[in-house]
Amino acid sequence: MAIDRATVDHVALLARLALTDEERALFTEQLRHILDYFARLQDLDLGTVEPTVHVRAAADVLREDVPRPSLERAEVLAAAPDQEEGFFKVPPVLEPA
Amino acid sequence: MVTEAAVDTVIGLEIHVQLGTASKMFCGCAVAFAAPPNTLICPVCLGLPGALPVVNRRALALGLRTAVALGCRIAPESRFHRKNYYYPDLPKNYQISQYQYMDHPPLGVDGWLEFTVEGTPRAVRIRRVHLEEDTGKLLHVERGGAVTHSRIDYNRSGVPLMEIVTQPDLRSPAEAREFLIALRALLQYLEVSPVRMEEGMLRVDANLSLRRADGTLGTRTEVKNMNSLRAVERALAFEAARQAEVLGGGGRVVQETRHWDERRQVTFPSRTKEEAQDYRYFPEPDLVPMAVGEAEVARVRETLPELPAQKRARYVSLGLSAYDADLIVRQPRLAAFFEEALAAYPQARVLANWVTGDVAGILNAEGKEIDDVALRPAVLVGLLRLIDVGVISGRIAKDLLPELTLQGGDPAALVAARGLEQISDAADLKQLVELILAANPEPVAEFRRGKEKALVFLVGQVMKETRGRANPELVNRLLRERLRG
Amino acid sequence: MTPALLPVSELLGQLRRRTLTPSDLLEAYLQRIERFDGSVRAYLHVAAEAARAEARRWDDRYARGDDLPPLAGLPIAVKDLICTRGVATTCGSRILEGWRPPYDATVIARLRQAGAILLGKTNLDEFAMGSSTENSGFGPTRNPWDQARVPGGSSGGSAAAVAAGLAPWALGTDTGGSIRQPASLCGIVGLKPTYGRVSRYGLVAYGSSLDQIGPLTRTVRDAALLLQVLAGWDPLDSTAASLPVPDYQAALEGGVRGMRIGLAREGMGEGLQPGVRAAVEQAAARLRELGADLVEVTLPTIAYALPTYYLVATAEASSNLARYDGVRHGLRVEVPDVVEMFSRTRAAGFGPEVKRRIMLGTYALSAGFYEAFYLKAQRARTLVHRDFDAAFAQVDLVLLPTSPTVAFRLGERVDDPLQMYLADIFTIPVNLAGLPGISVPCGFADGLPVGLQLIGRPFDEATVLRAAHAYEQATEWHRRTPPLEGAAA
């Protein structure tokens, strides 16, 4: 499995995890080791096997379009790291996604 | 070198429509515009640890109705997927949406929408229709010219969205605008959304490229942040011109996302480094598939309201001009008004003339919609009947219309109260005719010399003297008789 | 004997006969917690005052002879991965330190309705990722049988609390074995219900298609009692089944005569600690003596269950844990740029195992690797499921050891993630197939508990409980209690 530092850096960015140099080295090593073990999945003949998305067959679990009470804003904002006048407050977000 | 004349504009649209449900897509919070911030939230739409989504039945029904109306192939089983990316207005840092997963297509694919562009029929293919949830709203706070921080309101997070993606079949900004008008009308007829663009209920992103003379497609850019139909048309016109200029100068169009700046009337490139977003789509484990059987699709199809194309055809068969038919059909509220009036006053063409002419004229002048004014179909019908039985002239009716439209009232009562009844008795008019003839020797002479226009003038004078109440045909006849001798 | 070491079924009897009050019962646990939890460290938070107030209310209601709900006045410990309104829920992570949910999980609401009292929140591997509780952001829990050893994980706190008599019973969660394995290592009963049997609303998600909440108890009867309250449809969880809930207590009686039990060949191979093998073989023999039909079955793809699980679970987890970003709740590292804020907050708040699994899961889903990893694992999952289906064509229950070893030493496996993952080799396949599975104590090896695992058909907890109960009642393992320091009960 080709796990190198560059891959680890890319994945860490996708996952929004700032890694230290030690972590970068450690994870590169550990992930490589783990994925080598996982390579055994290649032994299985999986070509035509349906993937399991849900372990139990079920469909159409739907909710009626009836409004229900919302949470009390005060209780929610009390848990927020920073808030201002009823809003969650964060450092400036400069660009649309 | 590429010259502007050699290029063709190729436009595709991605439209997000907020569905007109009472509650959100995956939770029971109410949907409402302009509620105080963060008062319509719950563990689910706030993405709190431990929360789980449950699909809103009505959102599915509205999405299905739209997909069927657009002629899409409906997936017998459609699933949700997670679209993973990080952004503060996205509480879970993934959006529950619908993606193509192996052989599982989203709600509807491969439809089309017919519309007209200045009378010419066009059709645009619809690539897909699917459901997803909306994000919260991010607001920037500025102090002293710099953005100091941002605020987030999650009221909108989780509101049901329907995404409609077209094939790149549009060929001009004007066409894009016409398409959107037609789509908006369709959505209103289907009653799936009130589609108030100013409230963000209809959002449009566009892809635009120029096709070279040799038929190859140029690089396309994505254009975002167009918040009105006019903005869409202008932004696309700007972008097409910009690309043409780049190519004309021997340059290459950069594939990028650009934002429309309404103030400066330009598109500018997004500052985000587009490390191609890797959304890591995978099937949503917390939601089971939605099954839509053939029988249900058939039922939805059968219970569709009359669609714009059918309505237009019906109007034309009733005698309306294509132009009038188009104009009414594009405005569902106006069409509803017209239909109600038509039920009481079957002279469709006459009615349409008044609706698309005088009524529409007043609405435009006042900047109002038909639903915002006092005029009721029954009142317009009453007015037209007064003309038909000769109580008033068309002129008087036109004069009364603005007041009836904006303030309301009963036409017959108004006519009676102000003594506006048409003077149709020759005996009453003969004296006045004599007076006018005596007072205008020149026009009389001109008419006798063959100038028809002079008669028009004289008729006008009589009308003026009677404050429009004289029956114009009668006045015309009386004058001619008098002047014949 | 102190009430704290009695099974709930007996405690309920005493409460109803008024030979014991809820307050006295609660005090028994609070005293033991005071005495032993300084070293066992099963709890992250003990809700002493609130519990006492509630216990007093139940005292009154019992005294008045009111009509009472089924669990009236009974304390319960809850794994700190389950949302309890207004009560700190950390998920064993610094990223949620101090967070109080504004809502109760459905299971908590059901417990409250049944009259249960929240005793406290128990320690766990951070976000349920681990098999030893050493991954907790707040320090490990110790195995009451030998405090130099792990209690198992990720529900180590709940298992240790029950084993040590610091709670009558507890809620745990199980994604790859996190109820069964700690139950096995701590010598108690742990049941993972069928996927969808118990609502996940309010359970902080790790592996969404695998997670289930279940009981950790002293006896099988207690597990049946607790499952009865937890199980059932929930309109807030689309994956919860609307199938009727049977009477699990009634289902306990009946014995195993004529029941077909399949001993999985792959469960008895090498890698199994000799003492564990001996205990499990003896348990199988006991079941045979009780009248069960023991046959051999095979689950050929069980060897692939581990990589399958670790790709599916980590992929789902990488997405489920994206929401911890410092914006709405929990820890925030204040920096001027929002993207930096996300990355630094998560770096500071998550422990290494969580980071490792997020990385693994993100990789498995990333562009270019989705098919090779995630999709492949989902297909392999189907094969594991089919193996069980084939086995259940021949038998009513499948038998496996719960864990290949007894409790290992603290620190022994922390540096080798793969070694740690192997602890769950017999429990993981059950989650992949969504089946119900129980671990019951079946002996000791080197003085440490060994667990027997019984796995049933979907929604057939009744058969699982019946066999486990028959076995338990024919043995004395469930009466053994750990030698806590100074202890005599």
CB B78 within 8 A of CB B106: yes
DSSP B8: E
Residue C329 lies in a domain: no
Which structure tokens are listed for B410? 């009963």
**Is the pLDDT confidence value at B50 over 50?**
yes
Q: For residues C453 and C402, what is the distance between their CA atoms, to the nearest angstrom?
A: 5
Subunits with 3+ C-beta pairs closer than 8 A to C: A, B
Residue C318 bears catalytic tag = no
C440: CB partners within 8 A, 6+ apart: C189, C220, C451, C452, C454, C468, C471, C472, C477, C478
Tokens 């129980």 locate to C438
The residue from C93, C178, C199, C318 that is catalytic is: C178
**pLDDT of A95 strictly over 70:** no
Q: Enter the DSSP assignment of C231.
A: B
Q: Angle at CA C171, nearest 5°, toward C166 and C176? A: 120
Q: How many CB atoms lie within 10 A of CB C269?
A: 12
Q: How far is CA C250 from CA C224, C246, C384, C463, in A?
A: 9, 9, 32, 11
Closest CA to C391 of C359, C331, C435, C445: C435
> C219: which DSSP letter?
S
Q: Give domain status of residue C224, yes or no.
A: yes
- In this predicted model, what pLDDT tens digit does every residue of B162-204 receive, in sequence order? 999 999 999 999 999 999 999 999 999 999 998 888 888 999 9
The span from the CA of B45 to the CA of B22, in Å, is: 15
Instruction: Fill in the DSSP letter of residue C426.
Output: T
Q: Would you tell me how many other CB atoms lie within 10 Å of the CB of residue C446?
A: 13
State whether residue C383 is helix, strand or coil.
helix
| pLDDT of amino acid B275 | 54
Indicate the residue of B82, B93, B287 with minimum beta-carbon distance to C238: B287
Residues C248, C253, C258, CA angle at the centre, nearest 5°? 115
Residue C348 lies in a domain: no
CB C399 within 8 A of CB C263: yes
* Type of residue at B424: S
End-to-end CA distance of chain C: 6
Minimal-distance CA residue of chain B relative to C235: B54
Give CA–CA dist B88/C340, Å, rounded: 12
Band of pLDDT at residue B395, cut at 50, 70 and 90: confident
List CB contacts (< 8 A) between B93 and chain C.
Answer: 322-323, 325
> Residue B422's pLDDT is what?
83
Element (H, E) at B222: strand B221-226
Across residues B60-88, what is the average pLDDT?
Answer: 96
Residue B485 — very low, low, confident or very high, per pLDDT cuts 50/70/90? low
The model's confidence at residue B64, banded by pLDDT at 50, 70 and 90, is very high
Asked if B287's CB is within 8 angstroms of C366's CB, the reply is no
Q: How far is CA C64 from the centre of its chain?
A: 36
Alpha-carbon Rg for chain C, nearest whole angstrom, is 21
- Assess if residue C356 is contained within a domain: no
**What is the C-alpha to C-alpha distance for residues C317 and B446, in angstroms, rounded to an integer?**
94
Q: Which residue from C100, C335, C362 is facing A15, i.e. has the nearest CB? A: C362
State the residue range of the domain holding C229. Answer: 3-266+276-298+386-488
Q: What b/e readout covers B425-449, taking b as 16+ CB neighbours within 10 angstroms?
A: eeeebeebbeebbeebeebbebbee
The per-residue pLDDT for range B215-253, each reduced to its tens digit, is 777 889 999 999 999 999 999 999 999 999 998 888 888
Q: Are strands A83-84 and A87-90 parallel, antiparallel or unpaired?
A: antiparallel
Q: What whole-number distance in Å separates Cα of residue A33 and Cα of residue B35?
A: 53
3-class SS string, C21-82: CHHHHHHHHHHHHHHHHHHHCCEEEECHHHHHHHHHHHHHHHHHCCCCCCCCCCEEEEECCE
How many domains would you assign to chain C?
1
Q: Which residue of A has its CA nearest to C330?
A: A81
**Which element (helix H / strand E) includes B265?**
none
In a domain, C359, yes or no: no
User: Residue B74's Cα: distance from chain center in Å?
Assistant: 26
Confidence band (pLDDT; 50, 70, 90) for B2?
Answer: very low
The pLDDT of residue B4 is: 46
Residue C427 contacts residue C181 (beta carbons within 8 Å) = yes
Three-class DSSP category at C320: helix
Closest CB to B140 among A60, A61, A92: A92
Find the chain B residues whose C-beta atoms sit closer than 8 A to any C-beta of C: 42-43, 46-55, 82, 84, 86, 88, 91-94, 150, 152, 278, 280, 282, 285-288
Spatial separation of the C-alpha atoms in residues B249 and B174, rounded to whole Å: 25
The pLDDT tens digits for B287-333 are 999 999 999 999 999 999 999 989 999 999 999 999 999 999 999 99
pLDDT tens by residue, C271-329: 899 999 999 999 999 999 999 999 999 999 998 999 999 999 999 999 999 999 999 99
Chain-centre distance of CA C305, in angstroms? 19
CB C119 within 8 A of CB C157: no
Interchain proximity B49–C91, CB inside 8 Å = yes
Residues B218, C453: Cα–Cα separation, whole Å: 63
A92 touching C (Cβ < 8 Å): yes
Catalytic residue among C136, C154, C155, C318: C154
Secondary structure (3-state) at C397: strand
Alpha-carbon distance of C161 to C144, in angstroms, equals 8
Sheet holding C170-174, edge to edge: C43-46, C117-122, C75-79, C170-174, C212-217, C189-192, C437-445, C448-456, C397-401, C260-264, C293-297
Does residue C381 sit within a domain? no
- pLDDT reading at C264 higher than 90: yes
Predicted model pTM: 0.92
Q: CA torsion angle for C85, C86, C87, C88 (degrees, to 10)?
A: 110
Strand residue runs (E) in C204-246: 212-217
Q: Establish how many alpha carbons lie within 13 A of residue C245's alpha carbon, considering only the half-sphere containing its beta carbon.
A: 21
Of B234-243, B400-409, C219-228, C338-347, which range is least confident? B400-409
Specify the higher pLDDT residue, C244 or A44. C244
CA B222, CA B258: separation in Å to the nearest integer?
A: 6
Q: Give the closest-approach CA distance of B22 to chain A in angstroms.
A: 6
The reply to whether C376 falls in a domain is: no
- DSSP code per residue over B266-294: EEEE--S---------EE-TTSPPEE--H
Q: Please report residues of B whose CB lies closer than 8 A to that of C239.
A: 52, 285-286, 288
Q: Which residue of C has its CA nearest to A8?
A: C359
Distance from CA of A67 to the nearest CA of C (A): 14
For helices B173-189 and B332-344, the axis angle rounded to 10 degrees is 50
Element (H, E) at B461: helix B452-465
Cβ pair B91:C366 closer than 8 A: no
The DSSP call for residue A29 is H
Provide CB contacts within 8 A for C35, sequence distance 6+: C486
Asked whether residue C433 is domain-assigned, the answer is: yes
Average the pLDDT over each of A14-28, B247-261, B372-386 and give the range with the smallest value: B247-261
pLDDT digits (tens, 9 = 90+) for C43-86: 999 999 999 999 999 999 999 998 999 999 999 999 999 999 99
ipTM of the shown complex: 0.96
Residue C263: what pLDDT? 97
Q: How confident is the model at residue B431 (pLDDT cuts 50, 70, 90)?
A: confident
- The edge-to-edge listing of strands for the beta sheet with A87-90 is A83-84, A87-90, B146-153, B137-143
Q: Please check whether residue C344 touches A, CB under 8 A.
A: yes
What is the pLDDT, as a whole number, of residue B339? 96
Give Dmax over CA atoms of chain B in angstroms. 99
* Backbone angle region of C115, left / alpha / beta, with phi > 0 → left and psi within -120 to 50 → alpha: left
Q: Do B282 and C374 touch (CB under 8 A)?
A: yes
C102: domain CATH number is 3.90.1300.10
Look at residue C487 and tell me whether its pLDDT is greater than 60. Answer: no
Helix locations, B330-421, DSSP H: 332-344, 348-354, 360-366, 377-388, 394-407, 411-417
Taking contacts as CB-CB distances below 8 angstroms, the residues of chain B near A73 are 36-39, 41
- For residue B1, name the pLDDT band (cuts at 50, 70, 90): very low
CA dihedral (C382, C383, C384, C389) in degrees, to 10, reads 90
* Rounded CA separation C157/C283 (Å): 27
pLDDT of residue A97: 47
Q: Which two three-digit tokens encode residue B390?
A: 């000769």
Query: Which chain B residues are closer than 8 Å to A77 by Cβ?
Result: 38
A19 interfacial to chain C (CB closer than 8 Å): yes
Q: How far apart are CA B130 and CA B109, in angstroms?
A: 9
The answer to whether the CB atoms of C237 and B54 lie below 8 A apart is yes
Asked if C42 and C8 touch (Cβ cutoff 8 Å), the reply is: no
Which neighbouring-strand residues pair with C82?
Answer: C203
